[in-house]
């Protein structure tokens, strides 16, 4: 495979040790981006970084930590601006919450607070830190969402509420920050560990693999399309023109 020309562009991709985050980071590496990736599990993150480094000429910096920690967030932005021009932030890291999924009537409030902190508050905090650079560079924010944010699925009240908050934040941010592109991107059901945790003991092998969704996200990031909500399925089937 012919490598892309080296780039001075840098991107932060959270939750990049596996699943959609890893596949996206790999695709961006193919295009020569400098990458700052994060995850909570250091061994998985280091393994992911080694895999990504094999794909492109760009720098890959692995920064382990808890995405809800403000010190860690600041480290991500500092690292990204030190290796290139920060032009992309992908808020992919998230937590499902308790498994099996509880009903709202039985949802532990402390667990819900954690889900909201990771899935909604942490992305906003990271965006706040990155915004001065994104404004200057006319950059892109991608907030990875879910159809659970807009549909009423039994058991998905906690996770879905956090993603609904993320979508509304993205929607308002798009209005308030016209110099950047803000995409809230729904990859659809995927065969990932998180999705398996949502359906313990069930066979989810019929779900698409994350790498089948990444082309849609890369196309969106590179498209210059207006801010908005986009789904992988609609992009891939051609019903949305970017």
Using one digit for the tens of pLDDT, what is the confidence trace for 110-158? 999 999 999 999 999 999 999 999 999 999 999 999 999 999 999 999 9
Maximum Cα–Cα distance across the chain? 54
Rounded to whole angstroms, how far apart are CA atoms 57 and 54? 8
Q: Is residue 92 within 8 Å of residue 13, measured between CB atoms?
A: yes
- The pairs formed by 229-237 with CB atoms below 8 angstroms and a separation of 24 or more are 229/145, 229/167, 229/170, 229/171, 229/183, 229/184, 229/185, 229/186, 230/183, 230/184, 230/185, 230/186, 231/147, 231/185, 231/186, 231/187, 231/188, 232/185, 232/186, 232/187, 232/188, 233/188
d(CA 123, CA 184): 12
C-alpha closest to that of 183 among 136, 236, 123: 123
Cα angle 238, 20, 75; round to 5: 125
pTM of structure: 0.94
Closest among 231, 125, 110 to 169, alpha carbons compared: 125
Alpha-carbon span 70 to 128, nearest angstrom: 11
Please give the pLDDT value at position 237: 94
Predicted confidence at residue 1, as pLDDT, reads 36
| 110: Cα separation from own chain's centroid | 24
Region 160-169: mean pLDDT is 98
Residue 221 has pLDDT above 90, yes or no: yes
Q: Is 61 helix (H, G, I), strand (E, B) or coil?
A: strand
Q: Does the structural domain 9-235 have CATH classification 3.40.50.720?
A: yes
In the numeric block, the tokens 């981006």 are attached to 33
Positive or negative, the CA dihedral 210, 13, 219, 22 is negative
How far is Cα 118 from Cα 207, in angstroms, rounded to an integer?
A: 25
What pLDDT score does 189 carry?
85
Question: Which has more confidence, 207 or 53?
Answer: 53
- The mean pLDDT value for 58-62 works out to 93
Which pLDDT band holds residue 5 (cuts at 50, 70, 90)?
very low
Q: What integer is the mean pLDDT of 56-73? A: 94
Q: What residue segments make up the domains of the chain, in order of their start?
A: 9-235
Mean of pLDDT values over 176-183: 98
Tokens matching residue 210: 């994350």
């Amino acid at each position: 495979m012919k490598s892309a020309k080296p780039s001075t562009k840098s991107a932060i991709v959270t939750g990049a040790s596996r699943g959609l985050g890893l596949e996206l980071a790999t695709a961006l590496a193919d295009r020569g981006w400098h990458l700052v990736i994060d995850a909570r599990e250091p061994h998985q993150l280091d393994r992911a970084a080694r895999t990504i480094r094999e794909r492109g000429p760009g720098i890959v910096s692995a920064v382990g930590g808890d995405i809800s920690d403000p010190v860690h967030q600041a480290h991500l932005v500092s690292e990204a601006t030190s290796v290139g021009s920060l032009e992309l932030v992908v808020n992919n890291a998230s937590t499902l919450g308790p498994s099996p999924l509880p009903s709202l009537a039985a949802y532990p409030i402390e667990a819900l607070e954690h889900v909201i902190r990771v899935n909604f508050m942490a992305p906003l905090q990271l965006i706040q830190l990155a915004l001065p650079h994104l404004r200057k560079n006319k950059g892109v924010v991608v907030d990875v969402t879910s159809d659970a944010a807009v549909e009423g699925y039994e058991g998905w009240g906690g996770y879905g509420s956090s993603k609904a908050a993320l979508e509304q934040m993205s929607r308002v941010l798009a209005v308030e920050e016209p110099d950047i592109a803000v995409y809230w991107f729904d990859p659809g059901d995927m065969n990932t560990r998180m999705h398996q945790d949502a359906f313990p003991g069930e066979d989810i092998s019929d779900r698409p693999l994350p790498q089948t969704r990444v082309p849609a996200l890369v196309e969106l990031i590179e498209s210059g399309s207006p801010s908005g909500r986009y789904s992988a399925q609609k992009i891939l089937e051609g019903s949305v023109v970017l």
